[in-house]
Amino acid sequence: CWEPGDAIGCFDKQYEHKGRCCNRCQPGEKLVSECNGTEYSVCTRCESGHYQHSWTKEKHCAPHDICEDNAGLIVKTQGNATHNTVCQCRAGMHCSDTSCQTCVENQPCQHGFGFVAAKAVARISSPCEPCAEGTFSNVSSKTEPCRPWTSCEEKGLVVKVKGTNTSDVICAESSRRSSLSVLIPITAAVVTCLVGVCIYCLVHTGGHSCLPMTPTPPPAQIDAEKPREVSEGQQPVEAGEDLLPVQETLLGGQPVVQEDGKESRISEQERL
């Protein structure tokens, strides 16, 4: 210890007593007797169930907190000579106030509120929290958190109805996409039918096309009642008259037509 005349100021881990700077007791200990002219400060260890968390000149250690079961409390960290016991609420309960001397049972998070796991672990307040912008909760639950709104853009849709803290957004197709969704199936059906018809024709017609061909006009028929055209130098023949075969005879080097069955009367003179 310092002499009274020398005590100008004491260090942080000392305290002034009767004009002297006496040493404080370290954490986990309590003061038994103060310093004097011949002795330093005397300290001793805190008794069981008590603690002292800092350098002190106190002669008593503080008792550990008791986690009362009927208050809904359980031991989170057991105390020792330097630290107090830490209590917490049982699962499914939270502190009734900031001092957390008692606990109350968690109530289901209502619509528009979500369960927050971190707050439930701490058990210092209700684990329910209002849903932030862009999230919602439409159920009453002790475990369900707020869920994010559906992203219409990721699905290639547009927002039809904006979401709230209790409802999700409603998506819808754009007008252009709606038209395409109707037109594409119709076009596909028509193309499929055409392909099916072509395949059927190729199989059942031996490879010929089923497409209609331009019809070839039939050859012109000769009218049976129309008289034949008589070539020049021939006599017309009446209908129904029998035609007799004819023979040709040379007369004077010129052919003479003679009917078959008639005698040829040519004068001797003509023969010479």
Q: Do 42 and 77 fall into the same domain?
A: no
Look-up: residue for tokens 């119709």?
Answer: 186
Q: Do 35 and 75 fall into the same domain?
A: no
Q: Do 59 and 79 fall into the same domain?
A: no
What's the domain range around 20?
A: 4-63
Question: What is the C-alpha separation between 210 and 185, in angstroms, rounded?
Answer: 26
What is the pLDDT tens value at each position of the chain, 272 positions in all?
A: 444 445 458 999 999 998 899 999 999 999 999 999 889 999 999 999 999 999 999 999 999 999 999 999 999 999 999 999 999 999 889 999 988 999 999 999 999 999 998 888 888 888 999 999 999 999 999 889 999 999 999 999 999 999 999 999 999 998 765 555 666 778 888 888 888 887 877 777 765 555 555 555 555 554 444 444 444 444 544 444 444 444 444 445 555 555 455 444 444 444 44
From the list 61, 39, 33, the residue with the least C-alpha distance to 48 is 61
Q: Is residue 49 part of a domain?
A: yes
> What is the model's pLDDT at position 185?
75
> What is the model's pLDDT at position 187?
81
Domain end (from 73, 105, 137) = 105
Q: Which two tokens stand for residue 16?
A: 């002034």
Question: What is the C-alpha separation between 204 and 193, in angstroms, rounded?
Answer: 16
Residue 199: phi, psi to the nearest 5? -65, -40
Q: How many CB atoms lie within 10 A of CB 202?
A: 13
Q: Is residue 249 part of a domain?
A: no
* Confidence (pTM): 0.49
33 HSE (CA, 13 A, CB side): 7
Question: What is the C-alpha separation between 100 and 124, in angstroms, rounded?
Answer: 7
Q: Is residue 47 part of a domain?
A: yes
Q: Is residue 146 part of a domain?
A: no
The count of structural domains within the chain is 2
Q: Which spans in 38-146 are helix H?
A: 117-122
Q: Which two tokens stand for residue 17?
A: 């007593």
Q: Do 11 and 45 fall into the same domain?
A: yes
Question: What type of residue sits at position 113?
Answer: F
What does the pLDDT look like over 71-128, one tens digit per residue? Answer: 999 999 999 999 999 999 998 899 999 889 999 999 999 999 999 988 888 888 889 9
Question: What is the C-alpha separation between 147 and 160, in angstroms, rounded?
Answer: 19
> What is the model's pLDDT at position 189?
83
Question: What is the C-alpha separation between 88 and 70, in angstroms, rounded?
Answer: 13
Question: What is the C-alpha separation between 126 and 119, in angstroms, rounded?
Answer: 7
- Do residues 93 and 106 touch, judged by C-beta distance below 8 A? yes
Q: Is residue 86 part of a domain?
A: yes
Domain of 75, CATH number, reads 2.10.50.10
Q: Do 8 and 56 fall into the same domain?
A: yes
Cβ-count burial 157-175 (b if 16+ within 10 Å, e if not)? beeeeebebeeebebebee
Q: Is residue 59 part of a domain?
A: yes
- Do residues 84 and 62 touch, judged by C-beta distance below 8 A? yes
Q: Is residue 36 part of a domain?
A: yes
Q: Is residue 167 part of a domain?
A: no
- Do residues 248 and 254 touch, judged by C-beta distance below 8 A? no
